Amino acid sequence: MFELVTKKLKEAQKIVFVTGAGISQESGIPTFRGKDGLWRNYDAMKLATIDAFYENPKLVWEWYNERRKNIFSAEPNLGHKAIAELEKFVKVVTLTQNIDGLHQRAGSTKVLELHGSIIEIKCTVCEFKNKILTEF
């Protein structure tokens, strides 16, 4: 099986990777649904909404800041690095459900973040945009 995958990768002109929480778990980013996942402590379906932010901005900021703390301390793992390395040989696009930016930190240049980025913020009133690049 490994030989077949290697052969196909060598023959490929373009590769699309679709990634989710599993790829970043090895980097120490908890998944939402695993036994140590974030669902355990928070109802993410409620907190990850604009309505929750308007209702309780302090709680939502605390929740996102806790998530950012995990992300800022995480490093890209071999999976992230392998995908980035392939860009040297073939056109690669990565579609990810992750918001952690680890693909980009590993060196991937064509990453589409389906759920956005936890690092980029945007004001819903004035359209101000910026990046949170350090811990609070």
The set of catalytic residues is 115
Helix ranges (H only) for the chain are 2-11, 21-25, 44-47, 50-55, 57-73, 78-86, 102-106
Which DSSP state fits 30?
P
Please tell me whether residue 119 adopts helix, strand or coil conformation: coil
Q: Which two tokens stand for residue 43?
A: 């109802």
| Neighbouring residues of 36: CB distance < 8 A, sequence distance ≥ 6 | 30
Q: Measured between alpha carbons, how far is residue 116 from residues 36, 82, 96, 100 in Å?
A: 23, 22, 9, 9
**Distance (Å, whole) CA 34 – CA 44:** 13
